[in-house]
Structure 1
């Protein structure tokens, strides 16, 4: 029997196509899959009036895949002054608006997988 030098084995494998390599992608573990659809809800925008109308909005994120990030936007007659997380799924925004006009805010949530959801709320700006 004739022996093949060790340095020739890689070349022989390449010439023959080499060993078969599995191409299947392993399934993502259940702990890494979102169990439900990502949602964002604005519970309320409460007015406080001390001469100049201000509001506090509360948003809740659920579903998707934590951790979450969020952003508040004043769309019309609403200026967001501060945004703050209030735990893992709750956030608040404080802002100002012009009395007598309707205010419009957006709450945008994003999960670990990059899924984004936007919700809007219109409310009267009163003192």
Structure 2
């Protein structure tokens, strides 16, 4: 249930960012949900491989190359989903940074209070 909620919150963030940022467009709500699922799958399977193969560049740039990897994930999602369009690399870079900020803000709402005392 929590995973489904995270997908829906990511789709909401995709819709909001597509309306705010120039160069990003989403065809509709269903396309936004598909984009959220595709980005989640790419982050789960492709991103670790990209990080592993670009580890020297990531170390030399003190981790800033991760932003480039995130932009590549967004561009790959653009190629895989028909109703999602990104105009270029810098639009994908800005979209990925803002998406991660939106997602962390939205996911913080889902966190449960772990400080409850068990009797």
Whether the TM-score (by the shorter chain) exceeds 0.5 is: no
Larger Rg: 1
Relative to its length, the structure with more strand (as a share) is 1
TM interval, shorter chain, is under 0.3
Question: What's the TM-score once normalised by structure 2's chain length?
Answer: 0.26
Relative to its length, the structure with more helix (as a share) is 2
